[in-house]
Amino acid sequence: MAVTVRDTSPRKRNVASLVGGYVIAVGCFVLWILCAGQLTQWPPSPTLIAAGLVVAVAIGVWIRLADL
């Protein structure tokens, strides 16, 4: 099995992945709030909003890191 040595220089971060992560996180949060408002009463409870914020941030971070 051949061993490949990678370049040890740090990766250049792409601005598009940062912006994409933010846009996806905001979009997920908006969709969460809209769905929660349809499935429960309007406005959704603070617990439901906090859960949506956690999920949106996690998805945004995942998109940001996956796009590097």
The predicted pLDDT at position 5 comes to: 67
pTM for the model: 0.74
Q: Phi and psi at residue 15, in whole multiples of 5°?
A: -70, -35
The predicted pLDDT at position 17 comes to: 75
Whole-Å CA distances, 11 to 7, 8, 38, 59 = 9, 9, 43, 22
The predicted pLDDT at position 13 comes to: 66
Q: At what angle do helices 15-39 and 46-66 cross, to 10 degrees?
A: 150
In 1-68, which ranges are continuous DSSP H helix?
15-39, 46-66
Cα 20 from chain centroid (whole Å): 9
The predicted pLDDT at position 30 comes to: 96
The predicted pLDDT at position 56 comes to: 96
Ranges of residues in the chain whose predicted pLDDT is under 50: none
